[in-house]
Structure 1
Amino acid sequence: MLEVTPVAAEVINELTSQSAATNDSVGLRFSVAADDDSQAALELSLSEAAEGDQVVTADAGAKVIMEPAAAQYLEDKVLDVREDAEGNPAFAIARQDLPT
């Protein structure tokens, strides 16, 4: 299952609190979209869960919502936040450290 770091949970909570929705069911939603080269890419949005979506509730109630294809890809990943070149927070996905 996707692991969400405390820093990522904090950023998700900030984003959802700034959204127009005052609804506690809004979270960071991952979906899969194919680009022009037929390669899959993850898309992020603030949304409520749709039927069939998987929801991970992290620290302080932060919600990560994943459509089924995205959930399958993210099942062994960690969602974190790092600074981009301008010093702004950017989500980063890494493989979970699995016990050997």
Structure 2
Amino acid sequence: MLTLTENASNIVSTIVDKQVQSDDGGLRISGPNDGAFAIAAVAAGEPGDTVVESGDAKVYLEGSASAVLDDKVLDAQVTADGDVQFQLAQQG
């Protein structure tokens, strides 16, 4: 199952807290389409989504994203410009 670094957990929580007013709010990852994933803050997951919880962060994985990301670690950084960059790596 996808895991999140501590940094990714903190950034996901911050994004969701700013954009969604829901106890079930989280970041939803779908795809890949054309080699890229779609990421959006959502009030709740969709039926069939896999839920990954790390600290206060919730990530909802659409079915095909869940299969592709099953053995990955999600990390995140905030750039000097204030943008968020997500990176994937193989689990240890």
TM-score, normalised with respect to structure 2: 0.87
Q: In the TM superposition, what whole-angstrom CA distance separates every residue of 1:31-83 from its partner, at most 9, and x where no partner exists?
A: 0153xxxx342110011201000000101x20010001000000000000135
Match 1:52 to one of 48, 54, 60: 48
Match 1:41 to one of 27, 36, 39: 36
Checking the alignment, whether the CA contact within 8 Å between 2:32 and 2:64 is kept in structure 1 is no
Structure 2: gaps spanning 5 or more residues: none
| Runs of 4+ deviating beyond 4 Å | 83-87
Identity %: 33
Higher radius of gyration, 1 or 2: 1
Are residues 1:31 and 2:30 paired?
yes
Q: How many residues align?
A: 91
Residue 89 of structure 1 and its aligned partner are, at CA, apart by 3.3
Matches within 5 A, 1:53-92: 53-59=49-55, 61-84=56-79, 86=81, 88-92=83-87
Query: 1:94 matched to which residue of 2?
Result: 89
Could you tell me how far apart the structure 2 residues matched to 1:73 and 1:23 are?
A: 27
Matches within 5 A, 1:6-25: 6-19=6-19, 21-25=20-24
Could you tell me how far apart the structure 2 residues matched to 1:87 and 1:46 are?
A: 17
Structure 1: gaps spanning 5 or more residues: none
